[in-house]
Structure 1
Amino acid sequence: MSTEARRAPFPPRPTDDPAPAGTEAQAEDEPSLFAPRRPLERPRETRPPVPEARITTPPPPPPASARFPDAPPPRTPAATPTETTTRLRPVPAGAEPAAQVPPPPAWSPAPAPDPALSWNAPWPVGAFGQPEPYEEPVRGLGSPLARLRSRTGVAAVCVVLGLGLIGGALAGSWLTGEDGDRTADSGFAAAGSLWHNVPVDQLFPPTVQGTGAGPGGADRSWTRIAVAPDTGCAGAFDPLLARALAPVGCARLLRATYTDATRTHVTTVGLLFTKADPAAMAGLAARFRNERLDRRTDLLPLPYAAKGTPAAGFGAKQRASWTVSVLTDAPIVAFAVSGWADGRAVIAPEPAADGVRSGATSAPAQAGLGNEAQGLADRIQRKLRQTVSPATEKPS
């Protein structure tokens, strides 16, 4: 059986009445029960038409007068030529019109920066790097030759003034007789006459203070116990020392004996006034220094042993340490010799220069006898120079 026969098993019923007009068409439009269904059509949605996009420009901002009623109207820049580069030096007035900075636009919230405040702006006249008014060159001295002539003239004036001052000083020194050689000669001669012009207490003070003169920097104090009468030099030195001092002669010999605060040590100090001139004294000092005559144990001065004093037993065998100094600024030979006050003998005397050294182990050094001789001799010489200085001064 065909498909159509299965779909319509019953044949359509014939009708004798004709269908009215339009009925056929309506029957065709009506769906059949056995016909497939058509999908339902949804009604179309109606959307409003999209308007065409247009590019519009924003309206211009209101003028400054509208935003700020009190603000002055903007100035219209003059049509003047402007520069695109920064000037390195200022333009003088009148050379060309200065470029005016256009005002900031109306829409800018802040004014444009001032170019004069920029680091690239030229320095104003009168700033550092520019010559000050007082540094301007003087007319007529601008050329090198003129400046050389000016400097030469100034140097010549300075030389003339210097020569005049030197000449005046030399003339005054020659008229007054206060030149160096004459002053030295007068001091040398004045020192040679101290033995009969100055009291003994001024040459040998009754008490001498020796701050730091003892071993290890200890203080010392000496008291004078005897003064020898002024005599010649006979019997005052060992024979070899007397022979060494003979070239300068002997005008007068002054001696005094001192003891320390404990009366344990005794020291004789002497001043030999010679008859020599400055050259002879300088030669004697050089010989003592070169031949080391002041360190020989056979060239010692003798002590002055005064009876009834702690130095009564102070003889040649009791000499423990000594020093001899030849002065060159005065005709004087100063010396000192020390020993024990109990009269003990000393086998090997020692120079004071060796006894005052640190670490010396000899008996005189351990007892401080080198310090006694050196310290007392130094202070007597210092007192002698203080006495000579006022004697050589001339009244004004």
Structure 2
Amino acid sequence: MPHTIPGRNAAPEEGITETTTRLRPIPAEVPAKPPTSAGPLPGAGRPFVTFARPEVYDEDTARLRPVGARTRPRVVAVVACVVLGLGLIGGAATGSWLTGDSAGADGARGAFTAAGSLWHSVPVDQLFPPTVQGQGAGPGGADRTWTRIAVAPDSGCANAFDPLLRKALAPVGCLRLLRATYTDATRSHVTTVGLLFTKADAAAMTSLKTRFQQEGLERRTDLMPRPYAVENTVAAGFGNAQRASWTVSVLTDAPVVVYAVSGFADARAVTDPQPAEDAMESGATTAPAQAGLGHEAQGLADRIERSLRKTVVSATEKPS
């Protein structure tokens, strides 16, 4: 049952603080020595060549090819081309190795793996900043500012989702769920944003994303995420009946599902919740659309996702 809304002058409850160590930078690999240059070219003296016949034939054309005067320049030219080619290939391979370009696939796999461990290796303030700026995130490109009012303890997914959404997410598993609730500058809207860290590999995440897109699962009202309500805050009455707009994003470059759900801070029930994508369309007339709650959910989810990606990059980049 929703809780009674506290007074507007009540100070927001502080979020739960995590004391964790930051990710350690990955040591750079020691580059191997580049291949040594090829040996000297053949001697300057004219080579002594003998053949069984005074003339030889090209098999393709059956034309006579003279032997003698032009043999040495051609041999020298061929050897020079081989040496130059090997040098260029060796240099390019060494340069690519040193810069990491040849390990693009390995780098992507490393970033994917690193992202899966962020829930316990990065401070909560880095995943859910106390204040999030949303330049141009509101209706008509208006700026938004969201202030964190509560962070839920990290948990599993047993009671965090409605049954159908939990079933839809089951193929990727639930490693850990992190959630935080924010309010806008006017304290009239509340939004819960979540990071579901899965147990899946990249192929499973891609499969889930494809299913969500093809079946339109992110638009179904029976698959809305649940909010995180907190007593003695403006989100005290933010229950399931107050869900107004939402978004769900399945990432493929990280084992993470990012979602957000928004509602009114006055605990009013919403009878026609609308996906953020629809609520943000020009001319939408539903209550969530008119109040800008689609922008609240989508804007905050986008920025938390961007912050997550930056954290992954920082965790995997090689030191200079």
Return the match for 1:184 from 108, 122, 134.
108
1:299 alignment counterpart: 223
Return the match for 2:146 from 188, 205, 222.
222
Number of aligned residue pairs: give it: 249
Return the match for 2:237 from 302, 313, 324.
313
Query: Could you say what the CA RMSD is over the residues aligned between the two structures, in angstroms?
Result: 2.6
Return the match for 2:260 from 336, 345, 353.
336
Matches of 2:204 and 2:179, distance apart in 1: 23
* Greater C-alpha radius of gyration: 1
1:384 alignment counterpart: 308
Matches of 1:210 and 1:356, distance apart in 2: 15
Residue-by-residue CA offset, 1:243-281 (whole Å, 9 max, x unaligned): 011111111000000000110000000000001111111
Amino acid at match of 2:226: L
- Is 1:370 the equivalent of 2:298? no
Amino acid at match of 1:170: A
Q: Calculate the TM-score normalised by the size of structure 1.
A: 0.59
Unaligned runs of 5+ in 1: 1-149
Return the match for 1:202 from 106, 115, 126.
126
Per the alignment, do residues 171 and 227 of structure 1 end up closer, same or farther by CA in structure 2, a change over 3 Å counting?
Answer: same
1:272 alignment counterpart: 196
Matches of 1:205 and 1:197, distance apart in 2: 16
2:92 alignment counterpart: 169
SS at match of 1:383: helix
Matches of 1:370 and 1:289, distance apart in 2: 19
1:127-142 alignment, distance < 5 Å:
none
Amino acid at match of 2:182: Y
Cα deviation, residue 359, structure 1: 1.3
1:133 alignment counterpart: none
Cα deviation, residue 336, structure 1: 0.1
Cα deviation, residue 159, structure 1: 7.7
SS at match of 2:222: coil
2:156 alignment counterpart: 232
Cα deviation, residue 234, structure 1: 1.2
Per the alignment, do residues 167 and 364 of structure 1 end up closer, same or farther by CA in structure 2, a change over 3 Å counting?
Answer: same
SS at match of 1:255: strand
1:1-396 alignment, distance < 5 Å:
161-162=84-85, 164-170=87-93, 179-396=103-320
Per the alignment, do residues 394 and 342 of structure 1 end up closer, same or farther by CA in structure 2, a change over 3 Å counting?
Answer: same
Cα deviation, residue 364, structure 1: 0.5
Higher relative contact order (CA closer than 8 Å, sequence separation 6+): 2
Matches of 2:84 and 2:204, distance apart in 1: 43
2:22 alignment counterpart: none
Unaligned runs of 5+ in 2: 1-72
Matches of 2:245 and 2:161, distance apart in 1: 15
Per the alignment, do residues 162 and 316 of structure 1 end up closer, same or farther by CA in structure 2, a change over 3 Å counting?
Answer: farther
Q: Calculate the TM-score normalised by the size of structure 2.
A: 0.72
Identity value in percent: 75
Matches of 2:158 and 2:205, distance apart in 1: 20
Matches of 1:347 and 1:210, distance apart in 2: 28
Cα deviation, residue 161, structure 1: 3.6
Per the alignment, do residues 167 and 257 of structure 1 end up closer, same or farther by CA in structure 2, a change over 3 Å counting?
Answer: same
Per the alignment, do residues 342 and 157 of structure 1 end up closer, same or farther by CA in structure 2, a change over 3 Å counting?
Answer: farther
Residue-by-residue CA offset, 1:59-91 (whole Å, 9 max, x unaligned): xxxxxxxxxxxxxxxxxxxxxxxxxxxxxxxxx
2:19 alignment counterpart: none
Matches of 2:77 and 2:279, distance apart in 1: 64
Amino acid at match of 2:163: P
Matches of 2:114 and 2:177, distance apart in 1: 17
Residue-by-residue CA offset, 1:282-315 (whole Å, 9 max, x unaligned): 1111111111110111111100001110000000
Matches of 2:171 and 2:108, distance apart in 1: 22
